[in-house]
Amino acid sequence: MMNFKVEKRVETSRFLYIFYIGALILGMLAASLFFSVRGINPLFALSKIFMGAFGSALGIRETIAKSIPLMLCATGLIIAFRGKFWNIGAEGQLLIGAMFATWIGLRFGASHGPLFVIPLMFLSGFAGGALWGIIPAVLKVKFGVNEVIATIMLNYIASNLIQYLVYGPWKGKTHYGFPYTDDFAPSARLPLIPGTRIHYYTLIIAILLAIATYFFINRVKYGYEIKVTGENPEAARYSGMNFLKITIITLILSGGFAGIAGVGEVAGIHFHLTYPDQISAGYGFTAIIIAWLSRLNPLLAIFVSFFFGGILVGGDVIQTSFGLPAATINIFNSLILIFVLMGTFFMEYRVSFAKE
Amino acid sequence: MEGFESLHSILKGIEVRKERKESKGELTFKSLDLRNITKRFPGVLANDNISLNFKAGEIHALLGENGAGKTTLMNILYGIYHPDSGEIYINDQKVDIRSPRDAIAYGIGMVHQHFMLVQTHTVGENIALGFKDSPFVMPTREISKKIGDFCDTFGLKVDPNAKIWQLSAGEQQRAEIIKALLRGAKVLILDEPTSVLTPQEAEELFQIFKRMAESGNCIIFITHKLEEVFKISDRVTVLRQGKVIATTETGKTDKATLARMMVGRDISFEVQKKDIPVGEKLLEVNNLFVRGDMGNTVVKNISFSIHRNEIFGIAGVSGNGQRELVEAITGLRKVEKGTVKILDKETQNKNPRDIGELGVSHIPEERLRFGIVPNLPVYENVILRDYYRPPFSGFLTLNINYIKEYSKEVVERFSVMTPSVETTVKLLSGGNIQRLIIGREILSRPDVIIAAHPTYGLDIAATDFVKKLLLQKREEGSAILLVSEDLEEILQLSDTVGVMFMGEFTGIVKPRETSMEDMGLMMAGSKKWA
Amino acid sequence: MNFVSYITSILERALVAGTPLLLATVGEILTERSGIMNLGLEGLMAIGAVTSLGVILGTENLFLGVLTAIAVGGLMSTIHAFISINLRGRQILSGLAISMLGLGLSGLLGRRYVGIPLPVYFEPIKIPYLSRIPILGEAVFTQNAFFYISVALTIIIWYILFRTKWGITIRSVGENPLAADALGVNVTKVRYICTIIGGCLAGLAGAQLSLGYIHLWIEGMVGGRGWIAIALTIFSTWNPLRAFLGSYLFGGVYALQFQLQGIGISPNILLMLPYISTLVALLVTSGATSRKRIGAPSSLGEPFIKGEK
């Protein structure tokens, strides 16, 4: 008779990342199987995704463009998750950041130069995302409200708020019939690498923030406090740490980074505010998977974001070529997450077979 | 069946026939054997080829230090752990115990040290849980009746409708025993059963043991207290580092022999304590009232003071307000009424950090839960209480180099066994974690030391280390508050002892002028003032 | 429209709109009482809505449609059970994954059904005599089968949880699995069963959405109801009887949303109403419950690790 024996690993080694890579591959394969439901050869679909994302210069350019918001959101989520604050609200924080930046762009874009407008857009986007993040932080620490539900509710509220604006008061005069604001004036637009949609200001900010976050977590007092409150709140209390302050700092950064991602999308891709599904293709949710797959290490998140940017681009490719709904990408994301969670088990536990 | 008739007649409320049919141990219980049991945990050989025999009608003590493998062995017998190898025999028949369900069916019951009770449920609900003989609908109603019948005969009184969290530790233990006996336990295992009891309650428990043994049951109790072994057991088995050192009839051995077997070397029970005059008053608590987690007042009108060169001990069964008192003094819990003065400053309702800055060390109880962050490395745990101030950090950043140097100093001075200061703390042993916490605390805040259960769960070497360190700090001028359930330790170390019962001091006495009996009476609520 | 019939119609709508919330909430209460937190309700409802509708469009068999939704809900929650129970994974992330999977699959499968009206659906059942009671009777006793089933299921689950041996077992497993295990209770089995039944109820809630309420499939139709049900689980302090109150209160919010549209408030603002109400509801209850720890199972969300140090 065979018996499973499960033991917690004493030390995790880098070699164990093999389980994550395996999980990634299995998740992709499992997701592609669902295409056979629609009569599409799964392997063909997979190769189409990869070729679309990484197989051409055009694909790689798009992949980089898509990885920018992912990187920012994931870096922010890593800070929150380190503090065991389950921020599922990067999506909403991104949208509010986009909204704030739009207001600045429309208000000052025509009258001021880019040196004034662009930094102000980034700052306001950060502030918007941070504001949207502070709400669940206060609700949790002050009133014990579950942050998962609070952040998800705030996603819906943000989405409806944006829709209200673009269908109502902010609806532009120039886009007849479309729920868009007016386009930003040139000085409120981010410069692109010619021939691409890579708004490199945001890309540079994203990479710098990821690196800075790495140091923040390991070398800065507040990063230390976030780790301690996340790992053992009782010990944090014993040390006299201020939960409200720490949680607010966490969410200012976490939400703020997502807000910057929102700035990049409106000022670097669309040049106007439009309905929420257009601004964010679920970046806030995909970023959760990136954060987890990076084992909450922001440096790793840079590379993982690039990979997931590719999945988004490849997803777009098969959506258009096979006429699939936008939600298809959720299948990829969810199955990868499911397999990654399974992989986590094998990373943390040693499973052996004992014969009897 | 003779051996069991008396027990069954006691269990008159129970449908005896049904019980017999369902339990696999239909025959009279005669003996239980463990043969060559080996159990390995990652990095530890908990049980090393253990063979042991238990007989009907005996009280068998399992003696050993913390970490000797006693609890693991009993958990194997009860089906919670599975041995890597080895066999179990009941009445010379090999049995396969894969889960507690099997163990219960074979007539084995266990009362764990940390009670396996659902705190928010009633006694009746806890007993009905997983119990075959309770009805499907409204199970507790039936159970209440059975408990009533049962209580009368055994003197195990407990209210079936009380919620567990409302009960004292002694009452909870009774609920556990009833739970096991109602399920037809013939072998009853108890893990450190007296650790939560007053000496008098322990005495009552021993009487119940005797009655149960006389009716043919086998009582196995785990302990590390030699006195108990001699007071109650028929036979004793000594375990050390996962191995059986000896099994012997209690009457044929003596304390020193057992102690030597338990520790592996000669040990002295003496602690050197110098007579020194006390200094200035450092900590003063006046008419303190504190509320517990459930909102009721659990510390009532407590007053005492501690001077330099003095250890003030607080004795009492845990759950009588000691935890809340310590939390109130250290700033972790709100004070309802009264004052706490440290170095002549009022500190009630101050933040733990402000109180720490006055020079107050806090060695917390449940050190894994409060004292450390298990997933962070040693050096990040060393700075848990000091990270925010120079020289550990500047305005924003941590001075990692200084922190690591400082951590090395703590590790060396307090002999923390760790591969490096980068090692994750959860990989250290309990004793080393405690050395780390004590080192961290008293190195930077030596004036007032609040130590809650500082030796709980430590092996003899580490216990010795902690005791000596506290005495050394006393000589160096610290004012020390020592809270412990270990009466012996309290009496050995303290200059003055306050006994707590239901949130009040039932006495403040000098250890030399007090007998164990008096201590026990005070712990059970009779007031005595020296 | 006179005032009485106006009230009656709001009440009736509130009950219809509250029914999917009730089903999903009660399922989640059962799951969480056993110690497992299933955040996948949103996806389970979506997949339940699509599959039941798909089956009915193919077979015109209502019973088969509902059964499919229940089965799919149960099946998908098994994944969550496996990750949470066997693999000791993060339940929040696993639930999120189930949610995404359900949304993704329902999008993929439901593409061809979008906007197709149902050939058959659940007709209201008028209970003789009772349905003639003004206001209350007219609203309560003229509902379709989903309503009556949801009420019955809620009461049954409450009875099981608080009046039977099973209930003691389930609640004990959620409070202190170690204690339950030490008495021979199979913690894994209990948690699997509760998680799967909870998933079945979420699937059923989805079927109610497409078959008994909205009568068609549109992507994004579940619209956060799964998450609201999770909030309602907290709001009802893990007690099915209190879930009645929460569910119909929120049903009322949906009904109100519909009514207010008539007086010219922007639909996008009105759409926020349920979400804002959820935050308010949590704000009101969380403080009180977390202070006194009413209901919340102590080991909620924590894996049970047996036979380990």
Task: Print the SS3 string covering B398-426.
Answer: ECHHHHHHHHHHHHHHCCCCCCCCCCEHH
Residues A100 and A125: beta-carbon distance below 8 Å: yes
- Crossing angle of helices A200-219 and A114-143, in 10° steps, is 40
Which of residues 170 through 229 in chain A touch C, CB cutoff 8 A? none
ipTM score: 0.92
- Find, in chain B, the residue whose alpha carbon is nearest to that of A220: B397
More confident residue, B13 or A7: A7
More confident residue, A324 or C106: C106
Q: What is the mean pLDDT of residues A86-100?
A: 97
Cβ–Cβ contact B74 with C under 8 A? no
What is the nearest CA distance from B3 to chain A, expressed in angstroms?
37
Distance CA A347, CA B10 (A): 53
Closest by CA to B92, choosing from B61, B53, B143, is B53
Instruction: Measure CB to CB from residue A227 to each of B376, B396, B427 and give the nearest one.
Output: B376
What are the φ and ψ backbone dihedral angles of B33, each rounded to 5 degrees? -125, 135
pLDDT above 90 coverage of chain A, percent: 73
The CATH number for A57-324, chosen from 3.30.70, 1.10.10, 1.25.40, 1.10.3470, is: 1.10.3470
What is the nearest CA distance from C161 to chain B, expressed in angstroms?
11
Distance CA A97, CA A162 (A): 11
Report chain B's terminal Cα–Cα distance, integer Å: 55
Pick the residue of B397, B418, B445 with the most A CBs within 10 A to test the interface with A by mutation: B397
Residues B358 and A243: beta-carbon distance below 8 Å: no
Would you give per-residue pLDDT tens digits along chain C (309 residues)?
578 888 888 899 999 999 999 999 999 999 999 999 999 999 999 999 999 999 999 998 999 999 999 999 999 999 999 999 999 999 999 999 999 999 999 998 898 898 888 888 888 888 888 888 887 888 888 888 999 999 999 999 999 999 999 999 999 999 999 999 999 899 999 999 999 999 999 999 999 999 989 888 988 899 999 999 999 999 999 999 999 999 999 999 999 888 887 787 888 899 999 999 999 999 988 766 555 556 688 888 888 877 554
What is the CATH topology of the domain spanning B2-263? Rossmann fold (3.40.50)
Closest by CA to B324, choosing from B349, B356, B292, is B292
Cβ–Cβ contact A297 with C under 8 A? no
Compute the count of residue pairs across chains B and C with CB atoms less than 8 Å apart: 85
Distance CA B356, CA B385 (A): 8
Instruction: Measure CB to CB from residue C97 to each of A7, A145, A334 and give the nearest one.
Output: A334
Distance CA C103, CA C239 (A): 28
Contacts of A325 (CB under 8 A, 6+ apart): A319, C107, C108, C110, C111, C219
Cβ–Cβ contact B330 with C under 8 A? no
Subunit partners of chain B (3 or more CB pairs within 8 A): A, C
Q: Where are the domains of chain C?
A: 3-292
- Considering only CB atoms, which chain B residues are within 8 Å of C173? none
- Considering only CB atoms, which chain B residues are within 8 Å of A8? 42
Closest by CA to B124, choosing from B144, B148, B102, B152, is B144
pLDDT exceeds 80 at position A3: no
Pick the residue of B349, B362, B373, B433 with the most A CBs within 10 A to test the interface with A by mutation: B373
Subunit partners of chain A (3 or more CB pairs within 8 A): B, C
Would you give per-residue pLDDT tens digits along chain B (530 residues)?
333 444 444 444 333 333 444 444 455 888 999 999 999 887 778 899 999 999 999 999 999 887 788 999 999 999 989 899 999 999 999 999 988 999 999 999 999 988 999 999 999 999 999 888 788 888 888 888 878 777 766 667 788 889 998 888 888 999 999 899 888 889 999 999 988 888 888 888 998 899 889 888 999 999 888 888 999 999 999 998 899 999 999 999 988 888 888 877 665 556 778 889 999 999 999 999 999 887 889 999 999 999 999 999 999 888 889 999 999 999 999 999 999 999 989 999 999 999 999 999 999 988 888 899 999 999 999 999 999 999 999 999 999 999 999 999 999 999 899 999 999 998 888 889 999 999 999 998 889 999 999 998 887 788 888 999 999 999 999 999 999 988 888 988 999 999 999 899 999 999 888 887 788 888 887 776 54
Helix (H, G, I), strand (E, B) or coil at B79: coil
pLDDT of residue C89: 92
Helix (H, G, I), strand (E, B) or coil at A241: coil
Instruction: Measure CB to CB from residue B41 to each of C185, C306, C309 and give the nearest one.
Output: C309
Q: Per the CATH hierarchy, to which homologous superfamily does domain B281-523 belong? A: P-loop containing nucleotide triphosphate hydrolases (3.40.50.300)
What is the 8-class DSSP label of residue A5?
A: E
User: Among all chains, which residue has been given the structure tokens 């990652």?
Assistant: B42
User: Among all chains, which residue has been given the structure tokens 């009046």?
Assistant: C163
- Crossing angle of helices A147-167 and C225-235, in 10° steps, is 140
CA of residue B95 relative to chain centroid, distance: 32
More confident residue, C263 or A57: A57
What is the nearest CA distance from C280 to chain A, expressed in angstroms?
10
Q: What is the mean pLDDT of residues A214-237?
A: 96
pLDDT of residue B22: 45
pLDDT of residue B12: 40
Residues B62 and B234: beta-carbon distance below 8 Å: no
- Considering only CB atoms, which chain A residues are within 8 Å of C229? none
Name the residue type at position B390. P
Cβ–Cβ contact A348 with B under 8 A? no
Distance CA C81, CA C190 (A): 11
pLDDT of residue A122: 98
pLDDT of residue B319: 83
Compute the count of residue pairs across chains A and C with CB atoms less than 8 Å apart: 146
Residues B465 and B376: beta-carbon distance below 8 Å: no
Which helix (DSSP H) or strand (DSSP E) does residue B300 occupy?
strand B297-307
Rg value, chain C, Cα: 19
Distance CA B499, CA B521 (A): 10
pLDDT of residue B471: 94
Distance CA B26, CA B105 (A): 10
pLDDT of residue B19: 41
Least confident of A13-27, A335-349, B447-461, C19-33: A13-27
Portions of chain B given CATH number 3.40.50.300: 2-263, 281-523
Closest by CA to C171, choosing from B112, B140, B148, is B140
The architecture (CATH level 2) of C3-292 comes to Orthogonal Bundle (1.10)
